[in-house]
Amino acid sequence: MYETLAEQPNAFVQGFDEQRAYSETLKRARELLDAQTEVHVERFVVEILSGLAASWFGLPTSEAGLQRLFVTSKFVFQPSPEPALRKQAQRAGPELKASYDELTKQPASDHGSFLAELFEAGANHDERTTAVMSLVSGFVTATYGSVMAALDSWIESGSLWRLSAVADYGALRRALVQALRERQGPTVLHRTCVKETTLGGTTIARNSRVVLGIGSASNDDAKSEFTWLFGGNYGAQKHACPAQAMAIGVMLGLIAALRERRDLKRLRRFVLGYARPLEPSAAPPMDAEAPATNGSNGSHSSSVEA
Site string for ligand HEM, 118-157 (x = CB under 6 A): ----------------xx--xx--xx--x-----------
Position 13 contacts ligand HEM (CB under 6 A): yes
Taking only Cα atoms into account, the Rg of the chain, rounded to an integer number of angstroms, comes to 19
Specify burial of residue 290 (Cβ count, 10 A radius: 0-12, 13-18, 19+): exposed
| Gap between the Cα atoms of 172 and 164, Å rounded | 6
Number of residues interacting with ligand HEM: please give it, by CB under 6 A.
Answer: 23
Residue 88 is inside which H or E element, if any?
Answer: helix 83-103
Q: How far is the CB of 282 from ligand HEM (least distance, A)?
A: 29
Q: Is the Cβ of residue 143 or residue 293 nearer to ligand HEM in the bound state?
A: 143
How many CA atoms within 13 Å lie on the side-chain side of 269? 7
Q: Establish how many alpha carbons lie within 13 A of residue 192's alpha carbon, considering only the half-sphere containing its beta carbon.
A: 3
Query: How near is the Cβ of 189 to ligand HEM at its closest, in Å?
Result: 5
- Cβ closer to ligand HEM: 65 or 138? 138
Comparing CA positions, the residue from 77, 164, 59 lying closest to residue 116 is 59
Sole window of 4-12, 35-43, 63-71, 200-208 interacting with ligand HEM (rule: CB under 6 A): 4-12
Span near ligand HEM by CB under 6 A; candidates 7-15, 35-43, 82-90, 163-171: 7-15
* Alpha carbon distance 28, 46 (integer Å): 12
Which of the residues 173 through 232 are near ligand HEM (CB under 6 A)? 186, 189, 229-231
Beta carbon of residue 152, minimum distance to ligand HEM (angstroms, whole number):
14
CB nearer ligand HEM, residue 190 or residue 206: 190
Smaller CB separation from ligand HEM, 135 or 275: 135
Residues 166 and 175: beta-carbon distance below 8 Å: no
Q: How far apart are the first and last CA of the chain?
A: 48
- To the nearest whole angstrom, how small is the minimum distance from the Cβ of residue 292 to ligand HEM? 23
Nearer to ligand HEM, 186 or 291 (CB): 186
Q: What is the dihedral of CA 8, 10, 16, 22, to 10 degrees?
A: 140
Report the helix count and the strand count for the chain, using DSSP H and E.
11, 6
Q: Using CA atoms, how far apart are residues 158 and 263, in angstroms rounded to an integer?
A: 15
In the complex with ligand HEM, which residue's Cβ is closer, 15 or 285?
15
| Residues in 221-280 that interact with ligand HEM by CB under 6 A | 229-231, 239-243, 246-247
Letters for 86-125 (x = contact with ligand HEM by CB under 6 A, - = none) are ----------------------------------------
Q: Which of 252, 253, 251, 227 is nearest to 241 (CA)?
A: 227
Q: Does residue 22 interact with ligand HEM by CB under 6 A?
A: no
- Residue 213's DSSP bridge partners are 188
Provide the binding-site residues for ligand HEM, judged by CB under 6 A: 6, 9-10, 13, 134-135, 138-139, 142-143, 146, 186, 189, 229-231, 239-243, 246-247
